[in-house]
Structure 1
Amino acid sequence: MNQASHKACCTPNRGLIDRPDCAEQKTPTSSDGRPDLDTAVIPGGNAILGTRFPLIPNDGEESRKAPVLRQFKMTTTTITNAEYAAFVQSTGYVTDAERYGWSFVFWAQLPDSTSETQAVAGTEWWRKVEGANWRHVAGPGSEAGWQPDHPVVHVSWNDAKAFASWVGGRLPTEAEWEHAARGGLGDIPYPWGTREPDDETFQPCNIWQGRFPQDNLALDGHLTTAPAKSFEPNGFGLYNMVGNVWEWAAEPYKIPSLKRAVRQKLASMKGFKLLKGGSFLCHRTYCWRYRIAARSGASPDTSLAHQGFRVVFDQ
Structure 2
Amino acid sequence: MTRVELAGGEFWMGSDAHYPEEAPAHRVRVGPFGIDAHQVTNARFAEFVSATGYVTVAERPLDPQEFPGAPAENLLPGSMVFTPTPGPVDLRHLSQWWEWTPGASWRHPEGPASGIDERGDHPVVHVAHEDAEAFCSWAGAVLPSEAEWEFAARGGLDRAEFTWGAERQPDGRIMANTWDGPDFPWRSSGESGFARTAPVGSFPANGFGLFDTAGNVWEWTADWWSGHPAEAASDCCVPVDPRGGAAEGSLDPRQPQFRVPRKVIKGGSHLCADSYCLRYRPAARRPQMIDTGMSHVGFRCAWRTSDEETR
Match of 1:308 in 2: 298
1:205 aligns with 2:168: no
Structure 2 CA distance for partners of 1:218 and 1:61, relative to 1, 3 Å:
farther
* Aligned-partner Cα distance in 1 for 2:94–2:270: 19
- 1:216 is paired with a residue whose SS is coil
Q: What is the one-letter code of the residue matched to 1:55?
A: H
- Spell out the pairing of 1:29-108 with structure 2 (5 A cutoff): 37-51=1-15, 53-57=16-20, 59-66=21-28, 68-99=29-60, 100=62, 101-108=77-84
TM-score with structure 2 length normalisation? 0.79
Q: Is the Cα–Cα contact under 8 Å of residues 277 and 294 in structure 1 kept in the other structure? A: yes
Identity of aligned residues (%): 40
Most deviating of 218-227 and 137-146: 137-146
| Of 298, 303, 307, the match for 2:288 | 298
- Spell out the pairing of 1:196-235 with structure 2 (5 A cutoff): 196-197=168-169, 201-210=172-181, 211-235=183-207
* Aligned-partner Cα distance in 2 for 1:243–1:227: 12
Q: What is the CA deviation profile of residues 175-234 of structure 1, one whole-angstrom value per residue up to 9, with x for unaligned ones?
A: 101110111111111111010249x93311000012000111121111000111211101
Which ranges of structure 1 fall in alignment gaps of 5 or more residues? 1-36, 110-119
- Deviation at residue 159 of structure 1 after TM alignment: 0.5
Q: What is the one-letter code of the residue matched to 2:33?
A: F
* Aligned-partner Cα distance in 1 for 2:281–2:301: 20
* Aligned-partner Cα distance in 2 for 1:165–1:281: 29
- Spell out the pairing of 1:253-292 with structure 2 (5 A cutoff): 253-256=225-228, 264-265=253-254, 271-292=261-282
Most deviating of 142-151 and 181-190: 142-151
* Aligned-partner Cα distance in 1 for 2:252–2:41: 36
State how many pairs are aligned.
Answer: 262
- Deviation at residue 264 of structure 1 after TM alignment: 3.8
- 1:129 is paired with a residue whose SS is strand
Q: What is the one-letter code of the residue matched to 1:106?
A: F
* Aligned-partner Cα distance in 1 for 2:174–2:54: 37
CA RMSD in angstroms comes to 2.4
- Deviation at residue 90 of structure 1 after TM alignment: 0.4
Match of 1:16 in 2: none
Q: Is the Cα–Cα contact under 8 Å of residues 127 and 293 in structure 2 kept in the other structure? A: yes
Q: What is the one-letter code of the residue matched to 1:208?
A: W
TM-score with structure 1 length normalisation? 0.78
* Aligned-partner Cα distance in 2 for 1:154–1:123: 17
Q: Is the Cα–Cα contact under 8 Å of residues 220 and 299 in structure 2 kept in the other structure? A: yes
Which ranges of structure 2 fall in alignment gaps of 5 or more residues? 63-76, 86-91, 231-250, 306-311
Q: What is the CA deviation profile of residues 26-75 of structure 1, one whole-angstrom value per residue up to 9, with x for unaligned ones?
A: xxxxxxxxxxx211112211132112x43112x13421342x22221100
- 2:134 is paired with a residue whose SS is helix
* Aligned-partner Cα distance in 1 for 2:194–2:117: 13
- 2:101 is paired with a residue whose SS is strand
